[in-house]
A and B are shown apart, each in its own frame.
Chain A
Amino acid sequence: MGKTEENDALTKNKPPTEKDILAELELKMKKYLRGESANLEVLKDKKLKGQLAVKEQLYGKSAQAAAKAEKWLMPSEGGYLEAEGLEKTWRIKQETIAHEVDISSSRKQYDIILPELGPYTLDFTSSGRYMAVGGRKGHLGIVDMINLSLIRELQVRETVRDVVFLHNELFFAAAQKKYPYIYNREGTELHCLKEHGPVLRLQFLKNHFLLATLNKFGQLRYQDVTMGSMVGNFRTGLGRTDVMQVNPFNGVVSLGHSGGTVTMWKPTSSAPLIKMLCHQGPVSALAFHSNGHLMATAGKDKKVKLWDLRKFEVLQTLPGHANTLDFSQKGLLACGNGSLIQVLRDVSGTQNYSRYMTHSMVKGYQVGKLIFRPYEDVLGIGHSTGWSSILIPGAGEPNFDSWVANPFETSKQRREKEIRALLDKLPPETIMLNPSKIGTVKPKREKPTKQEREAEVEAAVEAAKGMKLKKKTKGRNKPGKRVQKKQEALSRVKRPYLEQKIQEEENMSRKKQKTSEGVELPKSLQRFARKKASS
């Protein structure tokens, strides 16, 4: 008999000593400090040193306060299924969990059978309060997940391939047969996005208010939802695919292609930022951990791989197919294949995922979409005959931040949040692989290109030409003198560039000499070579 142990890991142990608590706080502080401070001892500027020291101190205090709040003020604590003795967590069935949990949690296990309207796809709002449902055969709906009431349902009478909520539950987009459409909560069609064409997948970038679509012809489009402008339109050139996922950490859109490659895109560059070969066969699913470092891909080559996105290296390769993948807020990875669902968990915290739970649907139900409900230990399953919901203990973040996502939001709060979100909207160019680099010094360009240099010189020359000469008297205003002056000015302007050029050439030649010198002596004898300075 499996036993679910949530929130009582502490009660079993002895009360933690002060030392433990301090260590824990230290660990948490480290997280909030976001890295080490620079070495201030090196600084010569006393004033700056003092200022930075004060700043660091404040950062430390802030981190400490945050760590303390996290330790002591969080209303609930997360926990996982824990097996006793020979038990295995993955043998624990949903039924047994249902017996153990409270009524409100057990209500979250259900199957909705809607066999006729085809495989269903799901999407949750960021707070997890509302769910959008899209049946392949034109069935769209919004469900309030707290009281399980259907808010609106409509039948569009054409294929629906994907559904996605926009910034809040008031709007959602559906990829239909020919175009994607935007509906409001009442089911009124607001927009038909004809430019996007027959879209296969939709993603919404919440911080940037961008709707990213991928259509049948492999075109990736970004549309700004607030202004309606088309921000980006790129041809992937890698064929049709319906594997698309946004990295929640940085807003980079990743696509999985039939060539086994995964490409990552941002709306301001026409070439992919990253193109990596992940699988031997076509990529069938993609998912990102919310910390942005971890990516899971599944291929038709019967492999599920976990990637470290900082190094672009494989962390772990697991056997098995997966049609759909999803990371939960706490980092559980759900894989769906056929009618079987597996949830993997990083037990040791070393990015080593192992089986945590399994669930099999009724035979014949094909899982099409897995998505964890935010702030709940619930996994939503969209399958060929409706949708289901199962309990995965430890999946969701136990505490929600009402400034970020509030499941119990009132309409007034929602309105206010919408305004705030619009004010805080990020421009599309802030999407980059490492957004923490924003605000730092501009990466140096290796060299200005020849064209740029020429342009610079030209601009300087133009400026010099445009300069107006003073009107001088007493024979200094002769045309000859004026021309001379102008020429002088021009040469003065050109001079630094020419000097630079000469310098570079000299450097080059010197380098060549050096290399040639280095070549002359074998390495072992080089240390015996007489140095110029000593002689």
Chain B
Amino acid sequence: MKLKEMGGGNWKNQKSKKKQNLQRQKRGPRLPSSLQKQIDRLNPTTPLESADSDDNDLYEYEEERAEEESRKNKRYDPVSVNDDLSEEIEDENVQSDDESGDSDYIGTKKDENVQSDDSGEEDDGRHARMLQAITGMPSEAFEENKKKKKTMNDFVIPELYPGPEYNPSRDVGEGNARISIEDLLNPLSEKPTYGKLRKRQLQIMKHGRIVHAPLSKAVQAKVERTAAYEVSKKDVSKWQHIIQRNREAPTIFFDEDVNLGFSTVGAIASEFEPRTEFEKKIAALVYDNEVTDAHKNDGSKLLEMNKVSIEDEKDRQNRIAKMRSLLFRHEMKAKHIKKIKSRTFHRLLKKDRFKAEASQIQMDPEAAKEHAMKRERERAEERMTLKHKNQNRWAKRIIQRGLNSQDEGTRAAIAEQHQRHAELTRKMHSMKDSSSSSEDTSDEDDFENSAGSDQERAYKLLGKARDKTMKVLEEENEVPKSGLLSLPFMRRGLEKRREEAVEEANLAFQEYEDSLKKLENSGSLEDPKAASTSGRKVFGPAKAQISDTSVKVKSYNSYGGSDSEDDLGIGKSDNMENMGSHLLHNKDSVVIQEDTDTHKESLLKTIDDIIENPGPKTTCEVSIFVSDQWKKAKNKNENTTIKKSPNLTGPVRQNKKDAEKEIGEDSDTDSVGQMVDGILSSVSKVPYELPSQEELIRQAFAGDDVEGDFEKDKQEILEEENPEPEKPLLLPGWGQWTHIQEKKGLPSWMLKKHEDAQKKRAEALKKRKDAQLKNVIISEKIDKKAEKLHTKSLPFPFTSKEVFEQSMRVPIGPEFNPATAIGPLTRPEVVKKPGVIIKPVEFEDVNPHEKSEQRSGDKRKFKKTSGKPVKKAKVGGKK
């Protein structure tokens, strides 16, 4: 400790000495010149001497410094620093205290010395006086003290004092700069403490150690800092590999092995410890040994242990019963509430019911009858009770008060009631009337009104029916001579159907006849009306229609029965219906739909056929309906083609007309109007048309001087982008006054300018991408819209365009990379789960040479190593 202190002090002293030296040197020029001169005169050799001594000094210092340093190094051994930092701190404190004392002390001394150097002995006296004044002690004490100190210091550390080297007078006086400790000790031999001193000196001599003066504070701090820097650098540099590794890692992972502690309720519960009284009690019960044993064995013992008092049981039962009853009541209530429906619901329900009833009445005679009965009953009730005839209290009161004085709503209500009454009491039609067919009621009201007896009506009806059948029979005899139905197979089918229809009609006719006869026989024979209607043909348009539809339906039914394909049948019958309109309006959309249906069927068939017989075979598909129109169109087509073929050889002008016709789509325009869908018989094949005249001509002459045209085009475009410089021209009259001027021609600058412009143009043209390609024009226009797809400048870390573009060349999307590679390609720099706490990096030994291996190694390794430090640092919940 002491040594250290001393060292510190020495160091300081040394430093101060140096400083002093410097000070002195510095101070030189600051002295007044007169004084300086005086000094010079007094000791002219001083500067030289001093310089010498200085040299010596320096040498000495260096040596000592080196020693000091080595010691110092020893002191600041890293191990020691690391081992006992606290000690160091203590040391420092002590030292600093010491230092401050020292420095103070030295400071005063220094000053003193300086002063003594400059102004001789009187200074000493002044100083003593000063000390005396400050401390209040006699100056002798100081003197003595000083002397002692002086001696001590002199032999212990000669550098402490400016010493003889700096004291020119002394130097000069002695002639020898070296003063040994013996020299100093000798005069003290008589003193009583000499032996002690001597001993000490011997000791020092033996050990040969010299304690140096402490350095100044600033220098010391600096040295300390440098040393500390070294140490801390070393300390920090051990992290370097870890940090470098983390920096170089493409991704850092913070989500490895995230343990968030307990995951299940059971796990949490298992950790539970009973603490409060209550908890302890419960635990004692739950973890009762007997109970657990019983559980473990077979559970029969549990029953024995389960002792329940009668009161408890009763209580429990009562409670349960109460709860049950409550529940039941609640349930009932809920049911009740559930049943209650809203007003609108009931209204709708009622409406539905009425609707259903109404429909049922129409459909079902039984229901109708029931309904009628009900109505009858209602009516009777109403008539009996007169419920709605102002009988109730409310109505009576209102009437009593006077209807006029009531408000609108009430009056309306009263009116409604009246209406209801009227409705209810209205006499119903008889049952029979309401159940008869709607046709009768709607169409033939006159019958109802006029016809007296049922017989008569029946007679009339029969007569009419017979007439209609007759008419239909007659109608059907007409065979359609045009249109779809004129086709042989259609005709056949039609005939078949007609035969059936005729048969049926005949039967019906006979029936009518029979019944008519019966009627005639039974009823009044000489009914003029009946007679007039019986034999004659009386056609009413409406009636005819009715019969027509009926027959049609019949025929349709019969057809449906005979044909297996119902859809086709429907289509056909519909087509038959629409025949007329169909032919007139080709673009009827409905028809298109239907047609496509049928067409599809047929095409399917063809495909199937072809699949069955894969050989090259033309399948003849019988079309479903072919119109005359189509045939006509075909003929036309043929005609035109025939016409065309001779024309091809003939002169061009003649068939200009023809060509005009076919400009648009070769011969399509003609046939479009008459085009009819469906697959047509393959018998009539339209030969492939030769290319039209115009096309031929185009082909023949298009190739003329194509290259020339193209070149011209290219020139134009080049001209547009880089216009040819204008030829230099003078304004007429300008610069042409004399023939000399004329002879000179254009001024040289003009010519030069023109030449330059031309050169520039040539260069620009040469730069074009298509400069070497004679047959290509590559547009140089910049697409402004596409500019946003490029980066405006190189992104930051890149410095060369090539490197950037090369780094962008591989797409990293999932469409372009295998699934194994997408993850690493698109992984972010930091992978972290939300909520994970990132802990500081923990130290770990890393082999710096592992790096290269890592680079070339597997990705997983990468991941692992990069994750490691973090992994260590992070797992918090694991402890």
Contacts and interface: CB of A to CB of B under 8 A. Distances in A.
Contacts of B789: 429-430, 438-439
A150 B604 contact: yes
B673 to A, nearest CB: 9
Given A47-B797, A112-B607, A271 B679 contact: no
Contacts of B810: 33-34, 59, 62
Interface in B597-635: 599-600, 603-604, 606-607, 610-611, 614, 616, 618-619
A271 B717 CA distance: 11
B611 A153 contact: no
A159 interface: yes
Chain B CB count within 10 A is highest, among A54, A62, A385, A443, for A62
B785 interface: yes
A58 interface: yes
Interface stretch (B125-133, B261-269, B439-447, B707-715): B707-715
Contacts of B713: 275
B707 A277 contact: yes
Interface residues of A, number: 100
B688 A384 contact: yes
Contacts of A187: 596
A40 B794 CA distance: 17
Interface stretch (A113-121, A407-415, A492-500): A113-121
B582 to A, nearest CB: 13
Contact of B807 (A45, A52, A258, A443): A52
B432 to A, nearest CB: 52
Contact of B779 (A54, A116, A271): A271
Interface in B133-177: none
Given A58-B825, A280-B703, A436-B809, A150 B607 contact: yes
Contact of A116 (B606, B680, B799): B680
A475 interface: no
Contacts of B825: 58-59, 62
Interface residues of B, number: 86
Nearest to A141: B603
Nearest to A40: B803
A399 interface: no
B809 A114 contact: no
B790 A259 contact: no
A358 interface: no
Interface in B769-807: 770, 773, 775-779, 781-783, 785-794, 797-807
A269 B703 contact: no
Interface string A255-284: 000111100001011011111111111100
A254 interface: no
B778 A273 contact: yes
A43 interface: yes
Interface string A363-390: 0111000000000000000001100000
B686 interface: yes
A44 B710 CA distance: 50
A138 B781 contact: no
B113 to A, nearest CB: 58
A260 B592 contact: no
A45 B799 contact: yes
B528 interface: no
Interface stretch (A102-110, A123-131, A464-472, A480-488): A102-110
Contacts of B618: 113
Contact of B809 (A34, A39, A61): A34
B600 A115 contact: no
Contacts of B798: 48
Given A107-B611, A157-B592, A432 B680 contact: no
A238 B298 CA distance: 101
Interface string A38-66: 11101111011011111101110110011
Interface string A17-40: 000000000000000011111111
A109 B781 contact: no
Given A110-B610, A149-B604, A259-B702, A275 B777 contact: yes
Given A113-B682, A277-B775, A38 B806 contact: yes
A259 B698 contact: no
A47 B702 CA distance: 63
B586 interface: yes
Contacts of A365: 688
A259 B710 contact: yes
A47 B797 CA distance: 9
A40 B803 CA distance: 8
B855 A53 contact: yes
B812 to A, nearest CB: 8
A364 B250 contact: no
Contacts of B682: 113, 115
A271 B807 contact: no
Contacts of B685: 115, 385
Contacts of B595: 155
B792 A442 contact: yes
A370 B709 CA distance: 32
A403 interface: yes
B706 interface: yes
A429 B786 contact: yes
A477 to B, nearest CB: 41
B818 A66 contact: yes
A260 B708 CA distance: 12
B611 A54 contact: no
Interface in B800-824: 800-810, 815, 817-818, 820-821, 824
A112 B809 contact: no
Nearest to A154: B596
A137 interface: yes
B807 A38 contact: yes
Interface stretch (B423-431, B495-503, B664-672, B869-877): B664-672
Nearest to A73: B818
A273 B665 contact: no
B284 interface: no
Interface in A129-177: 136-138, 141, 148-150, 152-155, 157-159, 161, 177
B703 A114 contact: no
A280 to B, nearest CB: 5
B687 interface: yes
Contacts of B599: 153, 155
Contact of B675 (A35, A36, A157, A279): A157
B807 A268 contact: no
B481 interface: no
A66 B821 CA distance: 9
B817 A62 contact: yes
A274 B779 contact: yes
A54 B250 contact: yes
A301 interface: yes
B49 interface: no
24 contacts: A38-B803, A38-B806, A50-B248, A53-B855, A55-B807, A66-B821, A106-B614, A113-B606, A115-B685, A115-B686, A149-B607, A155-B596, A259-B702, A259-B709, A268-B785, A272-B777, A273-B778, A279-B703, A279-B706, A281-B706, A300-B703, A430-B786, A438-B789, A442-B787
Given A47-B797, A161-B665, A260-B710, 6 more contacts: A48-B798, A106-B614, A260-B703, A312-B775, A429-B788, A441-B794
Which 6 residue pairs of A and B lie closest in terms of their CB atoms, listed nearest first?
Answer: A62-B821, A38-B806, A442-B790, A155-B677, A281-B703, A429-B785
Interface of A: 33-40, 42-45, 47-48, 50-55, 57-59, 61-62, 65-66, 69, 98, 106-107, 109-116, 119, 136-138, 141, 148-150, 152-155, 157-159, 161, 177, 187, 258-261, 266, 268-269, 271-282, 300-301, 312-313, 362, 364-366, 384-385, 403, 429-430, 432, 436-443, 445, 512
Interface of B: 247-248, 250, 586-587, 592, 595-596, 599-600, 603-604, 606-607, 610-611, 614, 616, 618-619, 665, 668, 671-672, 675, 677, 679-680, 682, 685-688, 698-699, 702-703, 706-707, 709-710, 713, 756, 770, 773, 775-779, 781-783, 785-794, 797-810, 815, 817-818, 820-821, 824-825, 855, 859
